[in-house]
Every structure is written in C-alpha cells, then in structure tokens.
Amino acid sequence: MEEGSLNVATVGHSTAGADSTSCTANKRHSLSTHSQDGSTATGQDHDTGRRSSRVSEESWVPESGCLGSKCCDPRETPYRFIGLIFLCFLGFGSYFCYDTPASLQNQITSDMDVTTLQFSTLYSLYSWPNVVLCFMGGFLIDRVFGIRLGAVIFSTIVTIGHFVFAFGAVFNAFWMMQTGRFLFGAGAESLAVAQNAYAVSWFKGKELNTVFGLQLSMARIGSTVNFLVMEPIYSWVDGKEDGYTTLGISLVLAGFTCIFSLMCAFVMGFMDKRKSKVLREVPRESSEKIQLRDIKSFPLSFWMISIICVAYYSAIFPFIGLAKVFFMYKYGMSDAGANQVSSTVYIISAVASPLFGIIVDRTGRNIMWVGLAIIVTFFAHALLAFSFVNPYIAMGILGLSYSLLACSLWPMLALIIPEAQLGTAYGIMQSIQNLGLALMSMFGGYLVDNYGYLMLEVLNLVCISIALVSTIII
C-alpha cells in the first residue's frame, strides 16, 4: 500500500511504497517554484511601483465570504494547516481499504468459497499494474493531468475500484472482486504520487520532513483502523444479512472512506488553485525523469539494495495479508483478536518511524541499521514459526524492525545514485518491489493451501536470509 517516493516519477501507495515517501522527502524540493516579482524602475517610479504592489497585496480580501480570515489567506499558516489536514486524509481511504481483504480473510474465503491461493490474488492483482505504473504515474501527473486533476482522477479510480470489489461480493462474483482490486491498485499508487507532489508544492525545508512523517503515520493509522473496525462491521451486518451479501455490504460501507478521500481531493484542488493564483506561482516541470538508459550505469550496490527491498518486503506484507487465519489457528484467537495482533505492526510503525528517522539521520550509518533491522526481523519470524510466545511480542518486534528498515533503506539510493538519475532508480526499485510482492502473495497462498502456515514462515525466513546476504555484499 506498501507501501512511493516523493519523486513524482515514481509510485508508492502500497504500505511499502509509503515508506519511501517519508524517507526520501528532500529529493524533490524543486517540484514547484514560486515566481518572484521584480522591478527595474528607478527613483519615484520604482518607489511608486513598490507601494502599489504592497497596496495590492494588503488589499487582497479572500473570496467566498471569509471576511479576511487567515484561514482563507494562502499566505497565512492557518490556510496551510487546513491544507495539511486535507492532504493527510487524501490517501486515507486507499490505505484503509488496502488491507480490507486481510481483516476479513476468513470471511472472504468462506463466503466466497475460495482457496487461500485465490484469496491471495486480491493482493497480487493490486501489485501487478504497479510494475508498470511506477514509470507512468509520475509522468501522467507531471506532463498530462497536473497535480489537481491527477489527484481527482486517481482518487476516482480508487473509489470505483473498491466499489467494484465490494459489489463483486454482493453478486457472489469473485472475478469481479479481482477486477476491482486491479483497478484499485492502479489508482492508489498514482494517487500517492499526487499526494507527495502536493506535499512538496505546499511545504519546504524542515516542514517537509514533518509533513511526510505525518503522511506515513496516517497511512499506518488507516491500515490499523481497518483491522480494528471491519470485523465488528461484518458482525453487525451479519445479524441482518447472510453469506456473501453480508460480506458485500461490509465492503460497501468501507468504501465510504474512499468517497471521503475523493472529497478531500476536490477540496485540495480548490485550495491549491487559490494558492497558486494568490501567490502567483509558476509551475515547473520535474527535473527528475525516468530514463531507462541510465540502468547500465547503476553500481552493484543499487541492485543489492533492490534485492534487499523485494526480499524484505516479501516477508512482511504477504504475511500480514494472510496472518489473521494463522493467529486464529495457531493461538486460538477470535476474529477481532487476530486482527488486533495483525495491526500491531502498523500501530508501532506509526509511532516509531519518525523517531527512527531522526536516529538514522543523526548517525548516518544506514547500512548498519538495515542489517540490524533484518536480523531482528529474522528473530521475530522465527518466534512466530517455532514457538508459542505471545504473538503480540513477535509482532511488536516485527513492527520495530520494519520501521527501522523503512527509514534506513530508502534514503540509501540518494547516497549512491546521482540526483539526475534518482527518478529512474526509484522507479526500477519500486517496480521490482511490486513484481516481488505480486509473485510472493500468490506463492504464499499456494503454500498455505498445500503445506500449511509453517511453510509460509519458512519461506519468510528464506526471504529475510536473502536480504541479509545482500546487505553483507554491499
């Protein structure tokens, strides 16, 4: 969901992609620029021109009956604060609905009468379009739609995709649910790019780090809330409807979060248009572009980082997508209890990611932190696979290690790749990541169907081992 870099030539909703957002926030401050009015007049004409300019600015009165309120003045902090609120909620619906299949895993498999492998396609189909869209999303926003229209279009696609997914359950058509997830994924990744572009356009310097930290926390909160409320919603509807109809209505209700985010996209477009008009902003094209010919100049360390990325995240998000039933079977948990354990990773990440980001920034030892995170993650998966230790402990450890890796891995590209090639580098890395997540989601479902959850955890340990070896090679 998982999670894009702030570079608008790349994408990243998946919770994985959101990680790259918060950790590469300073790479694209040039996304938008403000024009500065100057004057070459001299003497009295020059003074008159300056006085006229000041009078023009000071006499500007916000429209729509605001009566001069600072909340309606794009030059004032309250206006930008209100914009930040809508910006954070712009992606809330997509982050909330991304993990809806995971929070209702056993309900989907039973009501729709599908195997775990078929269920896992709901995640792999999300990732497949983004193997390509990593290279197209930023281009569409930069060159075709612009931020405002792009955010509305992609938010609309997200909303349509989720409702197609939901009505697939209403009509007992699993193929329709799969189609909806494909559309949902195609819109969500590019919506994250538009969200990042807004952030860079509205905020500068140290503000930008804070804003991206808030966006990452909102992503985690969206996933966490989903795990906590979807099962109770299903239980409430279950008393009124039966079978797949209950599932469908529950998913439809979840879709209202996407509608809310779509409304935020319209509001952000209106506020951004007013800001550009008042501040006389002149848009400038992105300086970072996808150039596939740059690949041949990338060092070995880039490919090792990409392997770490795909191997590590393949042991995180496909597992979370299938974890609910694992906790129910192994630990005898209820639906609600299993969802609470699954959400632990996101809860901890929402709090720990900004803190780890500060630590990594101050120490600068990214590769050391990446190695430590991978080792701790291996330990957490080993606890889940071979012990009956309280799963909250293992998932808590997993949440901490995942947060640490997210804040130390993604910035490493900026250390080894020239700035002019960062767009290509992040695009390729996220394309590889989405390809890996798509394949591992399906393979994980196959293993659970045929060999059980123990083999899924063994696969996770193998993936983490590959990530560790790649870290050593770097």
Structural domain includes residue 41: no
The amino acid sitting at 331 is: Y
**Given the structure tokens 């300086």, which residue do they identify?**
287
Higher pLDDT, 36 or 263: 263
Does pLDDT of 26 surpass 90? no
| CATH number of the domain encompassing residue 419 | 1.20.1250.20
Mean pLDDT across 305-318: 94
Mean pLDDT across 58-71: 50
Residues 1 and 95: beta-carbon distance below 8 Å: yes
Closest CA to 424 of 1, 7, 4, 2: 7
Could you report the per-residue pLDDT of 353-376, keeping only the tens digit for each? 888 888 887 887 889 999 999 999
The structure tokens listed for 106 are 């056993």
Give the pLDDT score at 58. Answer: 42
Structural domain includes residue 38: no
86: exposed, middle or buried (Cβ count in 10 Å: 0-12, 13-18, 19+): buried
Structural domain includes residue 48: no
Could you report the per-residue pLDDT of 155-207, keeping only the tens digit for each? 999 999 999 999 999 999 999 999 999 999 999 888 888 887 788 788 776 56
Does pLDDT of 148 surpass 80? yes
Could you report the per-residue pLDDT of 275-289, keeping only the tens digit for each? 777 666 655 555 455
Structural domain includes residue 439: yes
The amino acid sitting at 244 is: Y
Does pLDDT of 117 surpass 80? yes
Domain count across the chain: 1
**Given the structure tokens 């990409």, which residue do they identify?**
306
Structural domain includes residue 5: no
Residue-number span of the structural domain to which 417 is assigned: 15-31+67-473
For residue 35, the SS3 value is coil
For residue 281, the SS3 value is strand
Does pLDDT of 94 surpass 60? yes
Does pLDDT of 48 surpass 50? no
Could you report the per-residue pLDDT of 389-398, keeping only the tens digit for each? 999 999 999 9
Residues 318 and 116: beta-carbon distance below 8 Å: no
In the structure, what pLDDT confidence band is assigned to residue 17 with cuts at 50, 70 and 90?
low
User: For the whole model, what pTM was predicted?
Assistant: 0.78
Structural domain includes residue 329: yes
For residue 216, the SS3 value is helix
Q: Which of 25-29, 181-185, 331-335 has the weakest average pLDDT?
A: 25-29
Does pLDDT of 335 surpass 90? no
What percent of the chain lies above the pLDDT cut of 90? 47
Give the pLDDT score at 281. Answer: 60
Structural domain includes residue 42: no
The structure tokens listed for 139 are 């281009």
**Given the structure tokens 């439809």, which residue do they identify?**
252
Higher pLDDT, 298 or 251: 251
Q: Which of 1-5, 189-193, 264-268 has the weakest average pLDDT?
A: 1-5
Does pLDDT of 266 surpass 70? yes
Give the pLDDT score at 29. Answer: 39
Could you report the per-residue pLDDT of 29-38, keeping only the tens digit for each? 333 333 334 4
Higher pLDDT, 67 or 276: 276
Give the pLDDT score at 422. Answer: 72
> At a CB cut-off of 8 Å and minimum separation 6, what does 211 contact?
25, 84, 87, 199, 202, 203
CA dihedral over 159, 4, 22, 368, signed as positive or negative: positive
Q: CA–CA distance from 211 to each of 17, 25, 26, 173, 378 (Å)?
A: 16, 9, 11, 41, 31
Structural domain includes residue 198: yes
Cα–chain center distance at 253: 22
Instruction: Give the integer Cα–Cα distance in Å for 108 and 332.
Output: 19
Higher pLDDT, 8 or 329: 329
Mean pLDDT across 69-78: 65
Mean pLDDT across 400-421: 84
